[in-house]
């Protein structure tokens, strides 16, 4: 569990913020980066159909800040020429790494040959990887699911083929396309991939606690791990892992810091986007963020019904004041009502038209 390199780029610590459409944008990535402990951040998946047709949203999605480096741009699509063009554009804007999405299960993406659809068409994927390699000089990486269905698991073969094509880091989310987000990620398959290729491999799936993460990491023997949903619930999760790797006690933010980070996020959103969008983002993060806090369910109800910045700020202040007074943090209560943010389906509305 030491830092590893993707060509000459040091991933230190070997902890990666997993790409999440609609979540890991410029704002969220910087919020996480400021908390520390993250060795690589990745953009949301970006449609090459959008990019190469000058869709302003797709272009905006490539924006990043110097503090984010090393920074990877993830692209998706099913046409090799467009993928190569999109990859070139990512290199031009200064991305350190180009990542190809081979895992998104959304029907709109799969239908157009991209995302996890590529798991069914290894030849198409091979062509895409080879053309991208010809088009860029920065390292090419791949993010995979384990297969399309339970009966067609082919992640090891795909990983070997990708290595032959010059892919320099393989990231495996241990679920099939058909599984969506159900069940648990299969870390045994992730271990098999690690044992089958010589490029670095990172594992991904269901890491929301240090104990579980360290266990799966050790068992699979991977070079790094990716954390997605866990970072929304706990933006300090990377710092906590980094602490443990360095032999320190994991950092524990207090309630004031939690509140401050929520407000920091809100402020960043308001700087970046229209108020209505910022409100939505805030509700999304606060919903995940208050998981397990006393009275979190009620707080989320008030939050979902807040319609202005002032209302949200007031509700946050009231909620955290109540918590501070009651000392209700960290009591281990895990609430069942938290809406699970699952899959990128909900976020493909914006790319669907571009991908059509």
The closest of 204, 105, 192 to 149, measured between CA atoms, is 105
Query: Could you tell me the CA-to-CA distances from 333 to 157, 236, 286, 330 in Å, in that order?
Result: 43, 19, 17, 8
Closest by CA to 222, choosing from 59, 15, 68, 32, is 15
CB 227 within 8 A of CB 207: yes
Question: Would you count residue 207 as binding ligand FMN (CB under 6 A)?
Answer: yes
| Interface with ligand FMN, residue 158, by CB under 6 A | no
Contact pick of 204, 220, 234, 348 for ligand FMN (by CB under 6 A): 204
CB 96 within 8 A of CB 72: yes
Regarding 234 and contact with ligand FMN (CB under 6 A), the answer is no
Is the CB of 42 or the CB of 294 nearer to ligand FMN?
Answer: 42
| Residue from the set 96, 163, 206, 223 that interacts with ligand FMN by CB under 6 A | 206
* Cβ-based nearer residue to ligand FMN, 44 or 223: 44
* Catalytic annotation, residues: 104
Answer yes or no whether residue 107 interacts with ligand FMN by CB under 6 A: no
One of 82, 108, 133, 143 touching ligand FMN (CB under 6 A): 143
Q: Dump the DSSP string for 99-150.
A: EEEE----HHHHHTT-GGGGGG-HHHHHHHHHHHHHH-SS-EEEEEEEESSG
Q: Under the criterion CB under 6 A, does residue 306 sit at the interface with ligand FMN?
A: no
Residue (302 or 343) nearer to ligand FMN, CB: 343
Q: Are 74 and 138 in contact (CB under 8 A)?
A: no
Contact range with ligand FMN by CB under 6 A, out of 49-57, 98-106, 269-277, 280-288: 98-106
For the CB of residue 311, give the shortest distance to ligand FMN in the complex, in Å. 26
Phi, psi dihedral angles at 175 (to 5 degrees):
-130, 155
Interface of this chain with ligand FMN, residues 161 to 190, rule: CB under 6 A: 173
Out of 9, 41, 341, 355, which residue is the one contacting ligand FMN (CB under 6 A)? 341
204: which DSSP letter? E
- 227 is a site residue for ligand FMN (CB under 6 A): yes
Can you spell out the DSSP letters for 52-108?
Answer: HTT-HHHHHTT---GGG-SEEEEEE-S-HHHHHHHHHHHHHTT-SEEEEEE----HH
Q: Does 74 bind ligand FMN (CB under 6 A)?
A: yes
Site for ligand FMN contains 101 (CB under 6 A): yes
Q: Which of 344, 351, 354, 355 binds ligand FMN (CB under 6 A)?
A: 344
**Closer to ligand FMN by Cβ: residue 188 or 331:** 188
Cβ-based neighbours of 203, under 8 Å, separated by 6 or more: 171, 172, 174, 187, 190, 194, 216, 217, 220, 222, 224, 225, 226
Peptide bond into 191 cis (omega under 30): no
Name which position in 29, 216, 229, 300 contacts ligand FMN (CB under 6 A).
229
Q: Is 105 in the site for ligand FMN (CB under 6 A)?
A: no
68 binds ligand FMN (CB under 6 A): no
The site map against ligand FMN for 9-48 (x = CB under 6 A) is ---------xxxxxx--------------------xx---
Q: Which of 228, 235, 287, 296 binds ligand FMN (CB under 6 A)?
A: 228
CA-CA distance, 327 to 261, in Å (whole number)?
Answer: 19
Residue 203 C-beta: closest distance to ligand FMN, Å: 10
Tell me the CA distances in angstroms from 47 to 2, 7, 63, 141, 231, one per residue in order: 33, 26, 14, 17, 24
Q: How many residues does the chain have?
A: 356
The verdict on 103 binding ligand FMN (CB under 6 A) reads yes
Task: List C-alpha distances in Å: 290 to 26, 59, 295, 299, 337.
Answer: 22, 32, 9, 8, 11
For residue 262, state whether it binds ligand FMN (rule: CB under 6 A). Answer: no
Q: Which residues bind ligand FMN (CB under 6 A)?
A: 18-23, 44-45, 74, 101, 103-104, 143, 173, 204-207, 227-230, 341-344
């Amino acid at each position: 569990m030491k830092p590893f390199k993707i060509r000459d780029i040091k991933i230190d610590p070997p902890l990666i913020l997993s790409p999440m459409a609609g979540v890991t944008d410029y704002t969220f990535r910087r919020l996480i980066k400021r908390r520390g402990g993250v060795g690589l951040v990745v953009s949301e998946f970006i449609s090459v159909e959008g990019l190469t047709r000058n869709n302003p949203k797709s272009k905006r999605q490539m924006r990043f800040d110097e503090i984010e480096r090393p920074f990877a741009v993830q692209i998706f699509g099913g046409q090799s020429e467009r993928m190569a063009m999109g990859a070139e554009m990512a290199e031009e804007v200064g991305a350190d790494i180009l990542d190809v999405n081979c895992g998104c299960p959304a029907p709109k993406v799969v239908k157009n040959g991209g995302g996890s659809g590529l798991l069914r068409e290894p030849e198409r994927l091979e062509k895409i990887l080879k053309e991208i390699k010809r088009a860029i000089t920065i390292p090419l990486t791949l993010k995979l699911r384990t297969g399309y269905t339970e009966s067609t698991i082919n992640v090891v073969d795909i990983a070997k083929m990708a290595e032959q094509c010059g892919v320099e880091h393989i990231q495996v989310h241990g679920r099939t396309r058909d599984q969506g987000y159900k069940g648990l990620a299969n870390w045994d398959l992730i271990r098999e991939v690690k044992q089958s290729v010589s490029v670095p491999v990172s594992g991904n799936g269901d890491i929301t606690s240090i104990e579980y993460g360290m266990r799966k990491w050790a068992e699979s023997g991977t070079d790094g791990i990716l954390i997605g949903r866990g970072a929304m619930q706990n933006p300090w999760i990377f710092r906590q892992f980094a602490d443990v790797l360095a032999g320190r006690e994991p950092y524990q933010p207090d309630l004031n810091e939690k509140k401050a980070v929520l407000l920091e996020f809100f402020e960043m959103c308001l700087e970046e986007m229209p108020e209505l969008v910022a409100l939505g983002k805030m509700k999304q993060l606060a919903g995940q963020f208050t998981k397990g806090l006393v009275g979190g369910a009620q707080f989320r109800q008030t939050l979902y019904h807040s319609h202005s910045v002032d209302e949200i700020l007031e509700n946050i202040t009231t909620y955290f004041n109540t918590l501070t007074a009651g000392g209700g943090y960290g009591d281990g209560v895990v609430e069942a009502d938290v809406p699970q943010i699952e899959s990128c389906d909900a976020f493909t509305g914006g790319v669907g038209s571009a991908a059509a």
